[in-house]
Amino acid sequence: QVHLVESGGGVVQPGTSLRLSCSASGFNFENYGMHWVRQAPDTGLEWVALISFDGSITYYSDSLKGRFTISRDNSKSTLFLQMNSLRAEDTAVYYCTKDQSPEDYLWGTFQYWGQGTLVTVSS
Amino acid sequence: EIVLTQSPATLSLSPGERATLSCRASQSVNSYITWYQQKPGQAPRLLIFETSNRATGVPARFSGSGSGTDFTLTITSLEPEDFAVYYCQQRSNWPPFTFGPGTKVDIK
């Protein structure tokens, strides 16, 4: 059974940094692309970032303007999201998701989701 | 960026009724439309991928159809656990992967 468990969220001040983690189990983590998707309070879903199975390929939402970095440690089946220069508009629940496809560039179906971790950016 | 619009925003129905949810794309997404269900306080759940393929464990009362720019999620007979928000999402032209704003199916 696939499990994705996010951690690292919290309340931070604007301009500061935060690192989210996602611990994965129940599947061959090293074979799949992974994503972060966020959901601001009482709003819809927004894709944040994608990383290929080996970490060699990454994509980001343009709205992040280079402030976030996605990475992974396959030896520990863990996904990360480094978030810098945080803004109030980054306040959201951040979900770690497993892509359905084991093939590069056939990404984009979010097969399994963690329960999310809440990031609140407020002074 | 492909923009997805969903209608209606809210659908008020009774258990046992048929629900028809619409998703329209700003340009053709071929068959690369996915549907998710989200209940309050929970993460989204994959329902339908590539327009019409049910994910593992999804009941047969859920079905998807469409092509090009117009897609539909149908729930043939609503069960109490089906009252939720439903999102469509495209993976035809990315980045970014984009979601619709959602349709809330609530109890009439």
| pLDDT value for A65 | 81
Could you give phi then psi for residue B50, rounded to 5 degrees? Answer: 45, 55
Query: Is B106 a residue whose pLDDT tops 90?
Result: yes
For chain B, say whether A27 makes contact (Cβ under 8 Å): no
| pLDDT value for A77 | 98
Summarize pLDDT for A13-24 with one digit per residue, the tens: 999 999 999 999
Please report which helix (H) or strand (E) contains residue A58, including its range: strand A58-60
CB contact under 8 A, A114 and B98: no
Closest Cα in chain A to B6: A44
Residues counted in chain B:
108
Sequence-ordered list of residues with C-beta below 8 angstroms from that of B99, at least 6 positions apart, any chain: A44, A45, A46, A47, B4, B87, B88, B89
Cβ burial of B46 (10 Å; 0-12, 13-18, 19+) is: buried
CB contact under 8 A, A95 and B43: yes
For chain B, say whether A60 makes contact (Cβ under 8 Å): yes
Summarize pLDDT for B54-103 with one digit per residue, the tens: 999 999 999 999 999 999 999 999 999 999 999 999 999 999 999 999 99
Residues from chain A that touch B36, judged by Cβ atoms under 8 A, are 45, 110
In this prediction, the residues of chain A whose per-residue pLDDT falls under 70 are: none
Mean confidence (pLDDT) of chain B: 97
